[in-house]
Amino acid sequence: MAKVMREKGVELIRLQFTDINGFIKCVEVPAERLEDALESGICFDLSSIQGGARTEESDARLFPDASTFCILPYHPTTARMICDVSGHDLKPFPGDPRLILKKMVQKASDQGFKFNVGPEVEFFIFKQQNGAYEFLDHGGYFDNVIKDMASDIRAEIIRYLRGFNITCEAGHHEVSPSQHEIDIKYNDAVTTADNAVTLKETIRIVAGSHGLLATFMPKPREGINGSGMHVHQSLWSKEGKNLFYDGSDTYKLSKLAKYYIGGQLAYIDEMIAVLAPTINSYKRLIPGFEAPNLKCWGSLNRSALIRVPQFTPGKESSTRLELRCPDPTANPYLAFAVMLEAGLRGIEEKIEPPLPIEKDAFKLSPEEVEKYHISALPGSLGDALRAMEKGSVVKKVLGQYAYNKFYETKHAEWVEFRKTVHHWERDMYLERF
């Protein structure tokens, strides 16, 4: 590593980690401090980080993961490494999202499972004009927007991802104007969470270099489809067998996979605050915009909360489940961790999923809703936080320290929103009453 840095003329190392919300934080050190960083970590002040330690416990250390070393493709004199955080006592910091996911992955491993995930990250690219953010293009699903720069920007992002050794499965224009999607290849959960954070940063940097704004806000404009982060999931044996596959089943799903579905549907209410963690998230999760808010599953049904992608003969290893309610404001480390816990509980508790639905869930009759035992997700961040409080999944996964920090952050956001008088309210009520 040191030899590569000398040969490539690397001058700085950017040591990265995320706060409780998934925002990247970093400390930059000269390249000469590489050995110090790897052997004894780099000290920093944790008290000013969202979800960080108290002032009297603020001394912390970043321990870089050598496997994440990469020279930044857009800044070739700087390398980056993703770090784990230790507290002032040199013990793993309980508020570190990456370590929280690592613990869940270890729990699955102890049960004989390897957890693979692959996210589809949607986002908008806006241009600033006359003090407002405007659409960059007016394309639709899979459109090739030749007259605008959107296609070139996606291509540039994908080229940079190669520099991070991140494999892109696909990139394309999404349904809404100026909306795009980039999918990254499935991998183990920790590596994929690292890659998802890197992807989001790269998207922002490339858009910014063109004088544009890339945003992962789920619903930046009313009346159009919002941005999600559909997450494909599968459990594998340590011998490399996909444990979700069963060729004798109609859906080609094993009993274990169906219990996993049952667990995620059973516990979705109490983990949705982690998967859709902003006020704005719930303006995406409404009927009519391809955003599932009804708790059901199926194969061809894209209104389902959990979709089973269609099976391709000879592709048994690709058998997987797609959870469609998360959005890209979620911290991927925490999101993958709670998803895994809910699925494992389904397996442990042998939770049978409800009957699958292969029709538009939003067009079901009241009798069909009762037949399929369908209910809706919480309708606001406030409702989601109340469901999280009543449940045990997030508390178990995050631990008391990180749970309290997450709840405090999100509750403060909800309180601030409730106190604010919005333009819609003035337009609706000011002159009427």
State the catalytic residues: 45, 120, 122, 174, 181, 230, 302, 322, 324
166: three-class secondary structure by DSSP: coil
Parallel, antiparallel or unpaired: strands 187-188 and 114-129: antiparallel
Parallel, antiparallel or unpaired: strands 229-236 and 12-18: unpaired
Structure tokens belonging to residue 404: 């309290």
Distances (CA, A) of 234 to 243, 310, 372, 403: 8, 14, 25, 26
CB 186 within 8 A of CB 115: no
Place of tokens 């109609």: 250
Structure tokens belonging to residue 224: 């159009």
Strands (E), 151-300: 168-173, 179-184, 187-188, 213-215, 229-236, 297-298
323: three-class secondary structure by DSSP: strand
Residue 126 contacts by C-beta under 8 Å, 6 or more apart in sequence? 133, 134, 135, 136, 178, 212, 213, 215, 220
CB 392 within 8 A of CB 266: no
